Structure 1
Amino acid sequence: MNTTILALDIGERKIGIARANNIAKIAEPLTTLINDEAFPEKLEDIISKENAGLIVVGLPRGLEGQDTQQTKYVKDFMDGIDLAIPFRFQDEALTSVKAEERLSKNSKSYTKHDIDSNAASIILEDYLLEN
């Protein structure tokens, strides 16, 4: 039984990844990977290792909810990779801002990689709350 849900925060250079157990429904940052030609294979490895059954993909929108160039990029990106499990889009409005605020509350320093994986975690938290 696949009990893990993964989330992706897709950027043109990096992709933040988070995970949550579908039973406990607690999202946590997992990693940030480089967005390159090796990404689909690395993602399949994570899917297998985490025993994932679903991927939630952050979908960027404009301030008024309209599609943007980044919306098209994310949709095209997901159409271009062949996954063994289904994926769902989730609004990612302000997740990077929220992630940076969350990280800045901790006294330790953080990197852009931390922001990306935490943004994916927030996308997943939002999905879990709505579903």
Structure 2
Amino acid sequence: MSFSAPAPASPPQTLLAFDFGTRRVGVATGNTLLRQAQPLKTIAAAGDARFEACARLIAEWQPAALVVGVPFHPDGAEHDNTRRARRFARQLHGRFRLPVHEVDERYTTTEAHSAGARDADAAAAALILEQYFREHS
């Protein structure tokens, strides 16, 4: 009889998730070991200042990948914010050269508001990351 050694477990990886908005971007972190997300903060900046704030968080947390919530209409149709969120995801990838995963984020901000979250945008980013973990279990 021959037994092979079990495949080594991959080391835990940190991820950052973003709930994109035209005025604010919620940010959350989590890791692949615990598969739980924690709201971090909301970035209330535009243009280069927004990406500078993202750069500081990426430098601090050293994520292996990024997750961006992409909104759709209830029937799954795209709208202007769908395209804006996807553009933001492409910009993150282009600037930071990290893998960027998109997650359908319908209703996450509404859910975060109804849960009474202190920082609804960051809480929505945490919901997006937890959804990513569920979809990639």
| Cα-Cα RMSD | 1.6
Q: What residue in structure 1 maps to residue 4 of structure 2? A: none
Pick one of 52, 55, 80 that aligns with 1:44: 55
1:45 aligned partner, one-letter code: R
Distance 1:49 1:35 in 2: 19
Q: What is the TM-score normalised by the length of structure 2? A: 0.83
Pick one of 123, 130, 135 that aligns with 1:130: 135
Give the secondary structure class of the aligned counterpart of 2:112: helix
Structure 1 gap ranges (5+): 105-109
1:103 aligned partner, one-letter code: G
1:11, 1:35 within 8 Å by CA — same for their partners in 2? no
How far has the Cα of 1:103 moved from its partner?
2.0
Distance 1:42 1:2 in 2: 25
Q: Given the alignment of the two structures, is residue 91 of structure 1 paired with residue 104 of structure 2, yes or no? A: yes
Q: Given the alignment of the two structures, is residue 118 of structure 1 paired with residue 123 of structure 2, yes or no? A: yes
Greater percentage in strand: 1
How far has the Cα of 1:89 moved from its partner?
0.4
**Residues paired across the two proteins, number:** 123
Pick one of 14, 17, 27 that aligns with 1:4: 14
Q: Which has the larger radius of gyration?
A: 2
Structure 2 gap ranges (5+): 1-10
Q: What is the TM-score normalised by the length of structure 1? A: 0.86
User: How high is the sequence identity, in percent, across the aligned residues?
Assistant: 30
